[in-house]
Amino acid sequence: MAPRPDQPRRVTILGSTGSIGRSTVDLLVRNRDRFTVEALTANHNAALLAEQARALGARFAAVADPADYDALKAALAGTGTAVGSGPQALIEAADRPADLVMAGIVGAAGLAPTLTAIRHGRIVALANKEALVCAGSLFLREVKRHGATLLPVDSEHNAIWQCFDFARVEAIETITLTASGGPFREYSIEQMRDVTPAQAVAHPTWRMGSKISIDSATLMNKGLEVIEAHHLFQLPSDQIRIVVHPQSIVHGFVTYKDGSVLAHLGSPDMRTPISYVLGWPDRTATPTRRLDLATVGRLTFEPPDEARFPALRLARAALVAGGGSATVLNAANETAVYAFMEGRIGFLDIAATVEETLAALPGGPLDSLDDVYGLDKMAREIAAGLGRPRARVAAAGPAGVG
């Protein structure tokens, strides 16, 4: 559904205090004449959420953790902004009238509210990988059933979306997702054995949340993106390629059967793909640094090393296996990442935990969100019980943002 040209577009942000949410808020503040804000949500950060709600005149603000409700209510007293808390309040936010919903909640906590927005036929700007990784077929079935529009926010998928000829898919040979390689691109396995969470979140080119940054360091984020791309572009695994591009200037390629390659280039700033989906099908002015290739001087590319970064192999195997295998992959990875962030396991234990969980729990068919949640829960319990050199991995619940 295209925006009404004579009225501002009404926007809801699920996860407004996370990295995607903050970038979205920045663009909305700069373009107040083009957008109004219906609802904002956060996980814990009531202070920032209230600040954003006041700045944007949001009609509703919700915090996932009920313990933060009183702080949010006090901060927004007298503003006219309605306030809610708890998982149901996140669904209420997605349920409210909006032209576009930015789905920016990280982890399985974003599944239900994102699906709610889809069932209202909204334009859904999808920054939540888990929606397609954990429940891709279910989500796409609902998108079609309710006439929703799904726009990818990930820089790589957004780039390919802009280059992809949906009217002539048979002319497309392959698509290529680029990866920066993360902070450990040149590390040996021995060097990676002792890296710290602080090192892992220090991404060389992108500013992201901790969980996504660690996924970038293991290259699991690129594995998850392969699964996303499969659902978004309806291509099999062997038509989805990955290339390591440390400069993060080229975000994606589409190769056509005549040998033509269309590539999307831009400075590494998430406000560029976010502005594209906010204004779609038009474009929105964005204060990003303009790309100067003469100054950049040199762009390099190399194949990923799956021996040092086995997460790529695991993600492709889960995609090929089908069913709920990708749900298991994601749940085990979230569990292991949060255990690593807390210093209870080592960096290399993340992929090892995922691999052992996949071996222990074959994914079954997924016909509803209850199936997804059930399989997700079992996978987290298995990952939590796996012994590790440093400690045992503790279960991590569905993650929110902020």
In our burial notation (b when 16+ CB lie closer than 10 A, e otherwise), range 358-387 reads beebebeebeebebbbebbebbbebbbebe
Instruction: Give phi and psi for 172, each to the nearest 5.
Output: -90, 130
Q: Which long-range contacts (CB under 8 A, 24 or more apart) does 82-89 make?
A: 84/60, 87/112, 89/41, 89/62, 89/63, 89/64
DSSP symbols for 140-166: HHHHHHHT-EEEE-SHHHHHHHHH--G
Distance of alpha carbon 62 from its chain centroid, rounded? 20
Note the pLDDT of residue 97: 96
Residue 222 confidence (pLDDT): 95
So what's the pLDDT on residue 276?
96
Rounded to whole angstroms, what are the CA distances from 158 to 12, 80, 297? 20, 36, 25
Cα-based angle 107, 109, 111 (whole degrees, multiple of 5): 90
String of DSSP letters for 22-59: HHHHHHHHHTTTTEEEEEEEESS-HHHHHHHHHHHT-S
Specify the pLDDT at position 1.
45
Residue given tokens 């970064």 in the structure block: 309
160-167: list long-range contacts, CB under 8 Å, 24+ apart. 160/229, 160/233, 160/252, 160/253, 160/254, 160/264, 161/232, 162/264, 162/276, 163/252, 163/253, 163/254, 163/262, 163/263, 163/264, 164/233, 164/254, 165/254, 165/256
Residue in the block written with tokens 């290339």: 243
Where would I find the H helices in 194-270? 197-200, 210-218, 220-233
pLDDT on residue 205: 65
Helix (H, G, I), strand (E, B) or coil at 5: coil
Mean pLDDT of each 10-residue bin along the chain, 402 residues long? 70 96 96 96 96 98 97 97 97 97 88 95 92 91 96 96 97 97 94 94 71 92 96 96 96 97 95 96 92 95 96 96 94 94 94 96 86 93 74 38 37
Q: CA 188 → CA 66, 192, 195, 236, 348, distances in Å?
A: 44, 6, 11, 31, 11
**Beta-carbon contacts of residue 142 (< 8 Å; ≥ 6 apart):** 115, 118, 119, 148
The rounded distance, in Å, linking the Cα atoms of 58 and 225 is 32
- Say if residues 13 and 372 touch (Cβ distance below 8 Å): no
Whether 180 and 206 have beta carbons less than 8 Å apart is answered as yes
Amino acid letter at 42?
A: A
pTM (2 decimals)? 0.89
127 within 8 A of 18, measured Cβ to Cβ: no
CA-to-CA separations, 116 to 88, 124, 322, in angstroms, rounded: 11, 10, 24
Could you give the domains of the chain? 9-152 (3.40.50.720), 158-186+197-267+289-307 (no CATH), 322-397 (1.10.1740.10)
Strands 172-179 and 250-256, sheet pairing: antiparallel
How far apart CA 249 and CA 221 sit, in angstroms, is 18
